[in-house]
Amino acid sequence: MNDLEKWEFGSLEWCKFASETGVKLIKQANLDLNKYEWGFSEDYIFMPKRLLAGRDKAGWHFMIHKGKVSGGASLPDECLELPGFHARAEWALIAHASSFIYDLKGQNKRFKEEEILNNDLTKAGKGRKTNSFKSKPVWPLGIGEALMGIDGEGLHNITARRLKHSPEVKDFPHTEYGVPILSKMTDEEKARFYELLGR
């Protein structure tokens, strides 16, 4: 892969890169892998068909299982059945914000902005139909630190740097961290956003 190559959020190429990054960060942390049985997965729903590339599902994973770390642009049951972080989200809800770089302070701000968006969607009668997580997230000691990487170059920022904006979502009004602002959308934009969310 070209070091400068960029892809759209959820595309097969980016999912491969994201899973490889997760595996690399775990490996470079020199953890005792025999102490962990843990999985990470992100499942993107209502993806634009043009980005599916023949897949039934779009997402990626990495996991520590039986003393080994592995991953891929797939959502195997073997990973999903492990305790860990298993997120499921509408593609349009997070696609744009996922390309923005931030530190821990910025991450917390993005989470608050997403909370406002989800509350506004609920008020508009377009609340979430699915759970964000398969089960309560589990972060064993050492895992979170490993994924934060070195000097702020952790899983999010490394993968965000390889993203380009998708035409379906880039023109919506959004916050400084790329979270769509429902209250600033026109009626036409809202209708388009709801359709992208499958709501």
Pick from 46, 157, 159, 42: nearest CA to 92? 46
Asked if residue 116 is part of any domain, the answer here is: no
> Is 1 a residue whose pLDDT tops 60?
no
Asked if residue 146 is part of any domain, the answer here is: yes
pLDDT digits over 46-99, tens only?
999 999 999 999 999 999 999 999 999 999 999 999 999 999 999 999 999 999
> Is 2 a residue whose pLDDT tops 60?
no
Query: What average pLDDT score do residues 12-27 get?
Result: 98
Bridge partners of 90, per DSSP, are: 45
pLDDT digits over 120-178, tens only?
999 999 998 777 887 789 999 999 999 998 777 899 999 999 999 999 999 999 999 99
- Give dist(CA 184, CA 182) in Å, integer: 5
Asked if residue 174 is part of any domain, the answer here is: no
* Confidence tier at 5 by pLDDT (50, 70, 90): very high
Range of the domain at 153: 7-102+129-166
Asked if residue 178 is part of any domain, the answer here is: no
Asked if residue 97 is part of any domain, the answer here is: yes
> Is 25 a residue whose pLDDT tops 70?
yes
Asked if residue 186 is part of any domain, the answer here is: no
> Is 34 a residue whose pLDDT tops 90?
yes
pLDDT digits over 173-199, tens only?
999 999 999 999 999 999 999 999 999
- The amino acid sitting at 125 is G
Residues 62 and 69 sit within 8 Å (Cβ to Cβ): yes
Pick from 154, 190, 175, 183: nearest CA to 40? 154
Domain total in the chain: 1
pLDDT recorded at residue 115: 95
Bridge partners of 68, per DSSP, are: 65
Asked if residue 86 is part of any domain, the answer here is: yes
Asked if residue 25 is part of any domain, the answer here is: yes
pLDDT recorded at residue 134: 77
